Amino acid sequence: MAQETSSLIAGVPELLILRLLQDQEMYGYEIVQAIAARTHQAVTPGEGVVYPVLHGLEKDGALKSRRKAVNGRSRVYYTLTAKGAKRLNFLKGNWNTLNRAVQAVMAGGANAV
Amino acid sequence: MPFEAIAETLLKGGIAPRHVYRYIRELTDHLEDGIAQQKSAGFGDEDARIRARALLGDDRELTAAMLEQTRFRSWPARLPWLVFVIAPFFILTVCLLALLVPIFAIGDGAQHIYNATGIAPDFLRPLSWVLLTGLNLLALPLLALGLGALAHRQRLNPLWPVAGIVMLLPLFLHVSMAFGDPALHKSGSLHVTVAPPFTAHFAQVFADQAPVLIGQGLLTLMVIAYLLRRRTA
C-alpha cells in the first residue's frame, strides 16, 4: 500500500507534463514555466529535472520530440502520442482515486479525534 | 562546455553518451532561455546568469535525476563482461571473414579483373597477399584500440577491454586463403584458424605464420600497454 502511494506521488511530474502536452506541443522551458504558472507557484521543482522525465516518457513511447527553430532559437519540442494519452488517462484515474481517499480521511468520520 | 562536470558524472555513472549529450544540450538551451527571461525582468548579465543557473537546480539534483533513470544506462556499463570479453571474439571473426572475402576476390579473380580493367594479375595477386598480411597483423590491435575507445567514451575501466584482448591474444586467430586454378579444376579456399598453444596444430601453424603472428602479438601488446598507461595517468 505504502509503495503504491509513493509511486502515485512520484507520478505527479509525469501527470502534469502529459496533461500540458495534451493541449499543445511545448519545449522544456515552456513546460516548466506552465507548471509554475498553472499551479500558482505551488509546484516549482528544480527546472532541469524535467528533462529526464521527458526523455523517459519519450523512451516509453508516450511522447515524441523534434527540434524546431522558432524566432531564431532552436529548441526540442515534445508532443503527446496516442500511447501518452492512454498513460495520461491512467495517471489521472490513479490521481483521482488518491485524491478522493485523502479527502475522505481529511473529512474525518467514526475515528475522528 | 557548460555542465561539463555533470556530463562526466553521468558518463562515469554508466549513462549512455547519447543520453548524456542530449540532456546537456537541452540544459544549455534551458539556461539560455532562463538568462533571457532574467534579463527581460531587468537583471544585468551576470545576475541573470546566476539566477537562471540557480533556478535550473544544482549539479547534485541534475545528476541524481538522470542517474535514477537506469534505463538510460549503456550496454557496456550494464554488461561489460559481455561487451568487452565475450563479444570481441565474434566481432573479430566476423570482421576477418568480411574483409577476407574481397581480398580473396582480388587475387582469385585476378584474371577476370584483368579482362575487365587491364590491371595485371601479377600486380593483383601480390596485392591480395599484402592485404591479407595487413589484415592478420592489424585486425586484433585495431579491435583492441576500438574497445579501448569505447571504454574511454563511456568512462569505463580500461581493464575491461584489456581483459577481453588478453583472452583473444593467445588464440592466434588469423585468416588464410588459397587461390583456385581453373586449369587444374581446383577452386580457391578461405580459412579462419584458431591455434592456441595447447592445441595439436599450434606448432605447425606457428611455424607457417610466425612473422605475422608475432607481429600481431607485439602490436596488440603495445595497445594493451597504452590502455594500461591511460588508466594510471
pLDDT tens, position by position, B29-57: 999 999 999 999 999 999 999 999 999 99
Q: B57-103: per-residue pLDDT in tens?
A: 999 999 999 999 999 999 999 999 999 999 999 999 999 989 999 99
Instruction: Give the per-residue pLDDT at B147.
Output: 95
Nearest CA-CA distance, residue A92 and chain B, Å: 23
pLDDT for B181 equals 82
Using a cut of 0.90, tell me whether the model's pTM lies above it.
no
Q: What are phi and psi of B196, to 5 degrees?
A: -65, 155
Mean pLDDT of B209-230: 91
Q: B59 and chain A: CB distance < 8 Å anywhere?
A: no
> Alpha helix locations (H) across A11-81?
12-23, 28-38, 50-59
Nearest to B180 by CA among B128, B130, B133: B128
Interchain CB contacts (distance < 8 Å): A and B: 64
How large is the average pLDDT for residues A91-98?
91
Q: Is pLDDT at B2 greater than 90 in this prediction?
A: no
- Burial label for B107, CB within 10 Å (0-12, 13-18, 19+), is buried
pLDDT, tens only, B146-199: 999 999 999 999 999 999 999 999 888 888 888 888 788 888 888 888 888 888
Amino acid code (one letter) for B202: F
Q: Predicted ipTM?
A: 0.84
Rounded-to-5 percentages of helix, strand, coil across chain B = 75, 5, 20
The answer to whether the Cβ–Cβ distance between B23 and A51 falls below 8 Å is: yes
Give the cell for residue B135: 589484415
pLDDT tens-digit map of B6-20: 999 999 999 999 999
In this predicted structure, what is the pLDDT of residue B199? 84
Query: Mean pLDDT over all residues of chain B?
Result: 91
In whole angstroms, how far apart are CA B117 and each of B101, B109, B112, B113, B114? 20, 12, 9, 6, 5
Q: What is the pLDDT of residue A3?
A: 46
User: CA nearest B3: which of B62, B48, B46?
Assistant: B62
Contact A52 B58 (CB under 8 A): no
Q: What is the pLDDT of residues A26-58, one digit of tens each?
A: 999 999 999 989 888 777 667 888 999 999 999
**Radius of gyration, alpha carbons of chain A:** 17
Q: What are phi and psi of A71, to 5 degrees?
A: 50, 40
Which of 72-111 (B) contact A at CB < 8 A? 72
Round to whole Å and give the CA distance between B107 and B123: 9
Q: Please measure the distance between the N-terminal and C-terminal CA atoms of chain A and give it in whole angstroms.
A: 24
Residues of chain A neighbouring B23 (CB-CB closer than 8 A): 51-52, 55
CA B228 to chain centre: 16
User: What's the mean pLDDT in A57-85?
Assistant: 94
